[in-house]
Structures are given as structure tokens and as C-alpha cells.
Amino acid sequence: MTTRDIDESVNAELNRLRESIDNIDAAVVHMLAERFKCTQQVGHLKAAHQLPPADPARESRQIARLRQLAESAHLDPAFAEKLLNFIVAEVIRHHERIAEESATNGEGA
């Protein structure tokens, strides 16, 4: 086997792995888009019924659940928690904006 053959086989393996990584990244984007579609609806429901944008008790339950799932999947639970917190923070910002718009437009109530 020549150095060139090794280079080619390493390249082929790298490309194979990167194709899977690209597919996974695409799935993550699609799943996040679906999640945000749901949370937008939750935001409108909350605004219409004067419910607060954030629900810390619900978040605590989600974190406990995700940490357990992460552990059984051999993913760092601290990373899973940080990721969820990052997403939820963005959702809460959306909910605050929806509530402000709803108050300005006199919707809900």
C-alpha cells in the first residue's frame, strides 16, 4: 500500500463521516424549526391568556428529564442542559415579543 493509497482511504473515510455529519446537522435544523413552530403557538396562547413568557417549573422538569436522557445516551448531561437553556432563552425572548405585540395591538383578553 502506498502513501497515496492511505491518503485516499483516509480521505474516503473523512468524506463518509462528513456526509453523515451534514445529514445530522440538517435533521437538527429541521427539528429545531418544528420545535420553534410549536413554541410560537405556545407564545400566542400565553399572550392571549396573560400567562408569563417563562415557566421555570416546567424548565426544571425538562432539564431533569434531558439530563437523564443524555446520561443513558452517553452524552455529557451538562452539555445537554446548556443546550436546552440556550434554546429556551431564545423561546422566552420570542414569547416576550409576542406578549408586547399582543398588548400593543390590544389582542387577547
98 binds ligand ISJ (CB under 6 A): no
Region near ligand ISJ per CB under 6 A, out of 2-10, 12-20, 24-32, 89-97? 89-97
Work out how close the CB of 16 gets to ligand ISJ at its nearest, in angstroms, rounded to a whole number. Answer: 34
Cβ distance to ligand ISJ smaller for residue 83 or 92:
92
Whole-angstrom Cα distance, residue 93 to residue 91? 5
CB atoms within 10 A of CB 103: 13
What cell was used for 80?
A: 445537554
Cβ distance to ligand ISJ smaller for residue 51 or 75:
51
Region near ligand ISJ per CB under 6 A, out of 16-24, 25-33, 53-61, 70-78? 53-61
CB atoms within 10 A of CB 96: 15
Q: Positive or negative, the Cα torsion across 35, 37, 39, 45?
A: negative
Can you tell me which of 48, 54, 63, 83 binds ligand ISJ, judged by CB under 6 A? 54
What cell was used for 32?
A: 429545531
Name the residues that contact ligand ISJ, by CB under 6 A.
Answer: 39, 42, 54-55, 58-59, 62, 88, 91-92, 95
